[in-house]
Structure 1
Amino acid sequence: MRRWWLVAGRGLLALWLAVPAAFAAEVSPQQHPAGAAIASAHALATEAGLDAIRAGGNAFDAAVATSAMLSVVEPISSGIGGGGFFLLHDAKANRDVFIDARETAPESTTPDVYLDKDGALDPDRAENGPWSAGIPGLPAALVHLAAKYGKLPLKTTLAPAIRVAREGFPIYERLAVGYASRSKVMERYRGTREVFLADGDAPKVGETLKQPDLARTLELLAERGFDGFYRGEVAKKLLAGVKQEGGKWRADELAGYRVREREPLRLKYRDWDITTSPPPSSGGVALAQILQILSGWDLQKLDAPQRTHLVVEAMRRAYRDRTIYLGDPDFVEVPLVRLTSRDYAAGLRASIHPDKATPSALLSGQPAPLEDEETTHFSIIDAEGNRVAATQTVNLLYGSGMIAPGTGVLLNDEMDDFALKPGTPNAFGVMGFEANAPKPGKRMLSSMTPSFIESPDKAIVLGAPGGSRIITQVLLGILAFDAGMDPQAVVALPRYHHQWFPDAISAEPGALDAATVQALQAMGHTVNAGEPTWGNLQTVQWDKRTNTLSGGSDPRKPGGRADVLLKAVLPAPSP
């Protein structure tokens, strides 16, 4: 039975070691996958990516097409009014690069604008409407990917998304239920009402959602590239829409947005070379820290409750450091060397009592809020060996709830990911301090953790949505692959999580058995067992021994089915 390592937190088998940034996985340039594979959260997005491959494109073209289609069919999760991270492996150059398309704070940003008259954080302003929105980064990322890494023009890769935006697609349950939960906010804004109430009532399952303004915006992006969104017609409408609702964006800050290419973080775990996300993602640092803390124990010799206890205590310490030290590296000095060093991990390890939980100071015991609808991930491998792990988001369900009239662009509410009031939790129960305080042009901290793992036998792409729970999903996914599980089994495994604040272990049904829960409680842990499921892990795998492709699409969400994945595996083109 292969799931023993996860149930009750068992079997974290070995250590990861932080290694220098110059390290790169060695891949034989003569060896290529026998085709291409895509895993995404929606069949139309997967098919759009495959269309790009069929048209002669590579994984990077497929990423543009998949991302754009997700922006059309998953407005609850992501869109061109938001941002994301793209981890790329360029097989020809044998090079990895991290594309940071995180949103940036507008020039009008100051912490006091998010406080009420009593000086407390105003959740409505932080989470809804124009003040909650950062300058979008996703359109710039699509342009950058196409121009620097792709083979096809944007007119080709964006065509499927443009068509579906104009002609419409069937509304599915998640969109309708999500709209109902956010309708009071979304119906404040004229642009949003024009899209979602176009037929006079709220969206219903089976109805067709058409977005002609979004189709026009995507057409301009396809025709004019960067200027099609950040200057000209669309930019003017965005600025006018934000101003009409009381916000303050400027034309020069839209035109001044730029993606950042960053060096990925690289780690070693057993036979696996791991390439993952650097700041402003917190994911790679946390993954490195957790595994280096755990390297001090032979976990296989411990019983299930103690193994779980140690994993949770390692998670707790990594998330504490996330809160205190991590932020936009263009604005703050992030102590990466210290946070990922073995000596620092040894000091944290020494602070863990083998039989008692460490109380998290100043925390409540409430369950952590979930983010599983509001972010999306897709994974791609092509026949050249190129790989893409991409996670994109608008933050909460339907982002800020506001569509700028005439654009179809649903704006994000990523400003809530800043530490708008130091020491005050945001919508996901995560606190922050000065390192993640808002400043004009600064990028808010993220948990998005698109990652690659590679051994002599396999190359795997994975990532997930889930707010602060993304990191532990990716962690458990990596451990499952190391235990020999196939991709679909990996994405279906039950999950558990601890994030320092709140001071509680969250666990899906089946992740921790009753005896383990009881033992953890006796150690002083608060355990919320049997919580609703979370996340939407998407992964693809290249088995180099058999030269076969496979993948897994999370069954927790509609579209997460094996048949969707099977459609995504293509044979290599004939010579």
Structure 2
Amino acid sequence: MKFSPHWPALSLSLLLVGGAAFAADGSTKNVPASAAHGQIQLRPGHAAIASANFHATNAGLEVLAKGGNAFDAAIAVASTLSVVEPESSGMGGGFMAVLHRAKDGHDFFIDAREAAPAAVDSKDYLNADGTPNRDASLKGPLSSGIPGEPAGLVLLSKRYGRLPLSASLAPAIRIARDGFQPDARLREAIADERKNLQRWPASAAKYLTDGKPPADGATWRDPDQAHTWELIATHGDDGFYRGETADKLIAAVHAAGGRWTLADLAAYKAKERTPIIVNYHGFRIITAPPPSSGGVAIAEILNILSGFDLTKLDEPHRVHFIIEAMRRAFRDHNDYLGDPDFVKMPLDMLLSPFYADGLRQSILPDKATPSSMLPAAEAAEPGMHTTHFSIIDADGNMVAITSTVNYVLGSTFVASGTGVLLNDEMDDFALVPNEPNVYGLLGSVANAPKGGKRMLSSMSPSIVIGADRTAVIGSPGGSTIITQVLEGILAFVDGESAQQIAAHKRFHHQYMPDEVDVEEGTFDPATSDALTKMGYNLKPRESWGFMNVVTWNRKTNKLDAASDPRRPSGLGKVQ
């Protein structure tokens, strides 16, 4: 990796470029009845992408300009983020995707979540006294699950893309080879993790120069990652999970004490699953199924809230009912959910409106319910550093992808000769039942580690379709992903724009600890006082996710794209 101080400065702005609308293509499946009578546009005729980095957004638009669809553009965005935003996602991590194909109304979900190696041993993650060893679960190859992103992108290209995989990966390969200017967020992440990066020679070589992070204005090149993407472009899955890259990954992991095998890599498959669909006050929400916990929790919360008209409540009571719904959903999240290929989950119960009715009845009208007072769920025996992007293309195909390496710069371990920064997703397992992970989430035996099993995730990519408005939405943020996406959905239902949704002030409750995290400015003093009197412990929180939203008004045929204003490196762009 080489740096140069002479890279030209690039300005960042929200760029809106209008496009002509085309006639509807006649497809009416899964579209509100009014659309079939010509009142609603079925095809926008132009495209919009919102991602966390302008290089990635522009890569997606480049692929669309070559004739690609939203699914090809998603491959370009994800692979470019691997190069320019490694603190949040990358080829050494995984993703979850909620997608909509316009020509037949097909809604589908791709599970490219990481998986535990066959030789996983919970004892590796324990201190001598039986407490969690956070260094083992967060740093180095023991913390890493088998990556899913390469397989997920290959699957997306094969089944749904329009262009060759090599065309969709071309921007990422070019940027990795030619170089780019690291933004302040990446430089700060490298500075924060410098001591951990120095523990492994390949990590230090990739991210540090003379032991220091890249300077402002330097050029960063990553030829090893470019080569690995080229192998994937040429050979598909075999370019990563077998052959040259696989051999290098296993050699590096074993040399540093990890437990991966060539068989683990060869056995990994991205999976297509049925998304969760819930209706809320006339809107159809398509969201992520397990091994995401987010979709189940969002659906459960919305089912509870469907019994209230939130628009007729004063602000303290509106927030009160939302928090209580969050509390109950996270209680179930902790105890019931896991990898559906390993754990039998009572999803019919959790997603039932009748179950939600019972939970709603347990909410007191003017008083917080202490989490300790809720009955324990009886489970069957068995990043803030993530990224999200949203896409709608000219045909109306939609992509909501949340991708992650878990914590800042994942495990901080780079496999020599590959450019692959490994994730630290093993911490998302319940390595010690009922002990919190790095995000404070509890877990049960349903999310205990086992070879080949996928760890539970909070990733909640979602698509929201109303009578005449559509949104593609998601966010990073660890355990707050679920509540941030929920609040984004509620804001969209209330009529807010993409920019308003991305900027919306946020609050969060996750059952335990029994406190409400609140962003500064979310509540006025009167609301804060009223909530405190109801029994809520309000706790200021500075760190929130990086939401990226695309909306489509199908009456006016207007697309809008917005990146979270809390961070300046993102770009929402309409083409």
**TM-score scaled to structure 1, two decimals?**
0.90
Q: Partner letter of residue 556 of structure 2?
A: T
Cα deviation code 1:353-382 (max 9, x no counterpart): 22222222399xxxxxxx43x100111111
Whole-angstrom distance in 1 between the partners of 2:107 and 2:360? 31
Residues 456, 350 of structure 1: alpha-carbon distance in 2 compared, 3 angstrom cutoff: closer
The answer to whether 1:468 aligns with 2:479 is yes
1:26-37 equivalences in 2 (<5 Å): 26=32, 31-37=42-48
1:1-80 equivalences in 2 (<5 Å): 24-26=30-32, 31-80=42-91
Residue matched to 2:445: 434
Query: Quick check: 1:126–1:415 contact (8 Å CA) kept in 2?
Result: yes
Whole-angstrom distance in 2 between the partners of 1:179 and 1:346? 48
Whole-angstrom distance in 1 between the partners of 2:548 and 2:206? 29
Whole-angstrom distance in 1 between the partners of 2:68 and 2:437? 40
Whole-angstrom distance in 1 between the partners of 2:210 and 2:86? 18
Whole-angstrom distance in 2 between the partners of 1:546 and 1:315? 35
Residue matched to 2:379: none
From 182, 191, 194, give the equivalent of 2:193: 182
Residue matched to 1:169: 180
Q: Partner letter of residue 154 of structure 1?
A: L
The CA RMSD measured in Å over matched residues stands at 1.7
From 306, 310, 314, give the equivalent of 2:321: 310
Residues 296, 88 of structure 1: alpha-carbon distance in 2 compared, 3 angstrom cutoff: closer
Shift of 1:220: 0.7
The answer to whether 1:536 aligns with 2:541 is no
Residues 38, 300 of structure 1: alpha-carbon distance in 2 compared, 3 angstrom cutoff: closer
Residue matched to 2:212: 201
From 509, 515, 527, give the equivalent of 2:520: 509
Shift of 1:278: 0.7
The answer to whether 1:336 aligns with 2:336 is no
The answer to whether 1:380 aligns with 2:385 is no
From 104, 116, 123, give the equivalent of 2:134: 123
Query: Quick check: 1:126–1:416 contact (8 Å CA) kept in 2?
Result: yes
Name the SS for the 1:395 alignment partner.
coil
Whole-angstrom distance in 2 between the partners of 1:383 and 1:355? 48
Aligned residues: 534
Cα deviation code 1:204-233 (max 9, x no counterpart): 222222111111111111111110000011
Q: Which stretch of structure 1 is more off in the superposition, 520-529 or 89-98? A: 520-529
Whole-angstrom distance in 1 between the partners of 2:64 and 2:514? 46
Whole-angstrom distance in 1 between the partners of 2:216 and 2:344? 48
Residue matched to 1:519: 530
1:102-251 equivalences in 2 (<5 Å): 102-198=113-209, 200-251=211-262
From 559, 562, 574, give the equivalent of 1:569: 574
Query: Quick check: 2:475–2:545 contact (8 Å CA) kept in 1?
Result: yes
Q: Which stretch of structure 1 is more off in the superposition, 416-425 or 185-194? A: 185-194
Q: Partner letter of residue 63 of structure 1?
A: A
Whole-angstrom distance in 2 between the partners of 1:119 and 1:398? 27
Shift of 1:533: 4.2
Residue matched to 1:12: none
Query: Quick check: 2:183–2:569 contact (8 Å CA) kept in 1?
Result: no
Query: Quick check: 2:280–2:303 contact (8 Å CA) kept in 1?
Result: no
How much identity, in percent, do the aligned residues show? 54
Residue matched to 2:497: 486
Whole-angstrom distance in 1 between the partners of 2:557 and 2:526? 42
From 99, 105, 128, give the equivalent of 1:94: 105
Whole-angstrom distance in 2 between the partners of 1:543 and 1:298? 24
Residues 294, 252 of structure 1: alpha-carbon distance in 2 compared, 3 angstrom cutoff: same
Whole-angstrom distance in 2 between the partners of 1:252 and 1:362? 47
Whole-angstrom distance in 1 between the partners of 2:312 and 2:236? 57
Whole-angstrom distance in 2 between the partners of 1:66 and 1:300? 37
Q: Partner letter of residue 442 of structure 2?
A: M
Cα deviation code 1:298-328 (max 9, x no counterpart): 4344332222222111101100100000111
Whole-angstrom distance in 2 between the partners of 1:187 and 1:234? 23
Whole-angstrom distance in 1 between the partners of 2:368 and 2:215? 47
Residue matched to 1:368: none
Whole-angstrom distance in 2 between the partners of 1:523 and 1:35? 48
Shift of 1:252: 1.0
Name the SS for the 1:446 alignment partner.
coil
5+ residue gaps, structure 2: 1-28, 375-382
Shift of 1:284: 1.4
Residue matched to 1:350: 361
Residue matched to 2:559: 549
Whole-angstrom distance in 1 between the partners of 2:201 and 2:31? 51
Name the SS for the 1:490 alignment partner.
helix
Name the SS for the 1:171 alignment partner.
coil
Query: Quick check: 1:280–1:327 contact (8 Å CA) kept in 2?
Result: yes
Whole-angstrom distance in 1 between the partners of 2:489 and 2:283? 9
Q: Partner letter of residue 150 of structure 2?
A: P
Cα deviation code 1:513-570 (max 9, x no counterpart): 11221222222211014x214111111112211122111111111223xxx32xx322
1:399-414 equivalences in 2 (<5 Å): 399-414=410-425
Shift of 1:388: 0.5
Shift of 1:186: 1.4
Q: Which stretch of structure 1 is more off in the superposition, 245-254 or 538-547? A: 538-547
Query: Quick check: 1:130–1:242 contact (8 Å CA) kept in 2?
Result: yes
Query: Quick check: 1:25–1:273 contact (8 Å CA) kept in 2?
Result: no
Shift of 1:116: 1.2
Cα deviation code 1:402-422 (max 9, x no counterpart): 000001100000000000000
Name the SS for the 1:170 alignment partner.
coil
Cα deviation code 1:86-134 (max 9, x no counterpart): 1111111210110000000001112222111111110000111011000
**TM-score scaled to structure 2, two decimals?**
0.90
The answer to whether 1:280 aligns with 2:294 is no
Q: Partner letter of residue 111 of structure 2?
A: D
Name the SS for the 1:549 alignment partner.
strand
Cα deviation code 1:137-175 (max 9, x no counterpart): 000011111111111112211111111111211121111
Shift of 1:198: 4.1
Whole-angstrom distance in 1 between the partners of 2:493 and 2:230? 44
Whole-angstrom distance in 1 between the partners of 2:187 and 2:45? 39
Name the SS for the 1:346 alignment partner.
helix
Name the SS for the 1:158 alignment partner.
helix
Residue matched to 1:255: 266
